[in-house]
Structure 1
Amino acid sequence: MPLTLPSLPYDHGALEPFVSATTLKLHHSVHHAGYVDRVNALVRDTNLQGLPLRAIVERSAGDPRQRSLFNNAAQAWNHAFFWRSLHAAGKRNSPSPRLAARIARDLGGQAQLIEQLKSAALSVFGSGWAWLVERDGRLCVETTANADCPITTGAVPGLVIDVWEHAYYLDYQARRADYVSGVLGHLLDWGFAEQNLLAKEAQHA
């Protein structure tokens, strides 16, 4: 079966005033949908047809002959992960004691993590992503350019912020810092981060 565009985990107005309903609808139903459609077209009648999206990303990574496929598949994967990295504005959300302890151990605390994520997001030249990941057993902040994503380099992603211009330009024009501050201060879903980063620990607790 072809890949399908995943539904948003909230309605189009849920991220306002930090991300407008207009931006979210365009971002999801045009940009994200376009990546999914192009992946389906590129894998049609190949041995990748019918595979899960993550498998397509991993199999096409690093292959110059598959660069177009990788770019579209990774962008589709990154966007699906980004939507789940956010929660509706106004929802109270903070790291659990277990996640807070890991953040403190590896990054110095939540305030330090937020500053690192902000610096990373603002440092991306052009288009890309700022991630909280686990790499080699420790939490860290990383950036990727364009469509690249940490699942192809051995890291476990916890949260991500999209800093492609289409994520914020209608609302903020060139004020990326204001967009990033709104996301970091009001929209990050720490429960999703814990699900990604501490799932193995929970299984063995």
Structure 2
Amino acid sequence: MFHKEGHKIIIITFIIVIAGFILADNFINISWLKILIMIALGVFLLLILQFFRNPKRLSSLNDRQVLSPVDGKVVVIEEVYEKEYFKEKRLQISVFMSPINVHVTRYPVGGNVIFSKYHPGKYLVAWHPKASEENERTTVVVENEIYGKVLHRQIAGALAKRIVNYAKLNDKVVQGGESGFIKFGSRVDLFLPLDTQVKVKLNQKVIGGVSIIAEMNEG
């Protein structure tokens, strides 16, 4: 199953690959070069298909937990001052996505969308310290009656040239449901209450809509 954001690119890629096969077969007489070109075209097609794949995820809905918004690797767990919405200290947990990860963004919690804003910006590498403030990005805040307010921020990387955000103000959203899509490598930041129980470690691989990032403090 492929994501709707990739349908146009996939069709164009199929046309390019088929045309490349035909041209290589008819105009290149060197056998090894012809085979090499066909293999390269095949690999290119496979890369595009795997990038836009959209596997079904069964999220275990739990208002006391925060799920990972994306597939990738945890690269930041630290206390920071969140400037845009909370304007106070929060726990930041960031997940970096490579081009081979599934790039669907999912709601880490269910509830009401109370903030959704797009920011144009630069395309610094996603792990750059200033990427969360200077790169193209979208910020979404979902208010959950039990957990509270959770902010997730899609951040474009050096290769990601388009962020798609489905979250609209006053939407009622389901935990694990699709919040958006980022094309070609990037990262997503989560901003959580300081007393959150973190359930992941640095460099841990996580699965969007499945892996538990954090849990409410029982106290």
Higher strand proportion, which one?
2
Higher helix proportion, which one?
1
Pairwise same-fold verdict (TM > 0.5): no
Q: Who wins on radius of gyration, i.e. which is larger?
A: 2
Normalising by structure 1, we get a TM-score of 0.32
Normalising by structure 2, we get a TM-score of 0.30
